[in-house]
Amino acid sequence: MTSQTWRLFQSRQGIVGMTLFLALTIIFLYVYYGPSNNGVVSFWVPQEALPPNPGYQDSSPRHPTTPEEIRQRFEARRQRVKTFCSRPDYRKPDGGVDFSDFRYGFAAFRRLRWCRVAKVGTTFIKSKFFPQTKLQSRNLSKTTLNYLTKHPKTFYFVRDPYSRLVSGFFDKVMTAPNRWQDIGALVIRTQRPNAREEEIECGSDATFLEFFRYVIWAETTNRTRNIHFMPMHDLCDVCNKDFDFIGHLETIKEDLPYIVDSVGVTMDTNINITREIAHRMSSIFRVKRSLVKRCLGVYPMMQRVWWFFQARGVIADSIPLAASRAQVQAASTSQLTSWVLQAHHSTHALGSRSAQKRKFLVALFRQIPLSLRLRFVELYSRDFELFQYDPLPHDLYPELYDGVE
């Protein structure tokens, strides 16, 4: 057990909780290297397995609203990273790979240098920066412009490690036919005992438990690590580079405008969910329709996609997929998309989607044995510490707080 895990646990639960942790960890080797439940954990969670719906009330905490408050928040984030990175145990071991060399890109007329952290809003951010005709530049002095061109300000974004991992599963495994035969197949091949040849060939039915175990295995063995699931601090080498801004996806609507404004640029940060829905539906049911038919079936795929949009809070979980198997199989991609959009527009009137998203995330993680969840905390401890995310939230670890088995 590492010192990081001890500090994280002690800060939340104390000695009594640690005793429980030690007892449960004894079974880790059996749970992790033993039977895999034969893949019985499904892609999605039955509605009856979900915790009670707390409703659509917006429970988001108050965010800073003035430029000075946002500036102070950015500075607090930078100082926190510097403080932790000054510790000897945070030094990168000799021979470590600097993944950040492959992650940098320029933006905002080359006045910004962005280290892209996979599964932290990269697609959204790129859509706002490019093409540059979307951006508006204020009149800056020639001296300032020359300086920013030679010394662009640097930034990266992070997010809660739990939501990032779920997003990786959704976007790179569950609803990504174009990644089934590489990531999906890898998960099944390494984590499903006695997997059939056709299961590995298609890679279409990897479960969240299998995916979770793959991530733990890859990070533990340092084999076939994937940038979409690796710890965030590794991707930008944050302890050896001094960034001007550390954005959080949870506050991107405030953080991103502030960052671009600091170099004299303004941008539109609105999210076009309609366009996002249409793009995803097209990539699945138009571009990869033949693969979907062969490896899963159009109707099961539509059920999966519907559940995904519910887990994202795009469709209310009270709105079912009403179309029959025959109707779905006969429908065009445009018709399938229209059903999702209709459900989304009905959902929009219900209010905030944050509570529903959290409910689905909790249900997914509660499928994972406690010992594996705690191993995740250990492997990603620096992400939790550096970026100030709760490593042991009550709803994801009821066993530690309520004695729930």
pTM of the model: 0.83
Query: What digits encode the pLDDT tens for the residues 368-394?
Result: 999 999 999 999 999 999 999 999 999
**What pLDDT, in 10s, does the model give residues 282-312?**
999 999 999 999 999 999 999 999 999 999 9
3-state secondary structure of 66: coil
Sign of the alpha-carbon dihedral angle for 212, 216, 219, 225: negative
Cβ 383 vs Cβ 232: under 8 Å: yes
**What confidence tens digit (pLDDT) does each residue in 229-250 have?**
999 999 998 998 899 999 999 9
Residue 248 in tokens? 């959080």
Residue 23 clears pLDDT 80, i.e. is over it: no
Task: Output the average pLDDT for the chain.
Answer: 84
Separation between Cα atoms, residue 167 and residue 322, nearest integer Å: 26
* Residue 358 Cα distances to 51, 177, 209, 312, 351, angstroms: 10, 25, 18, 9, 15
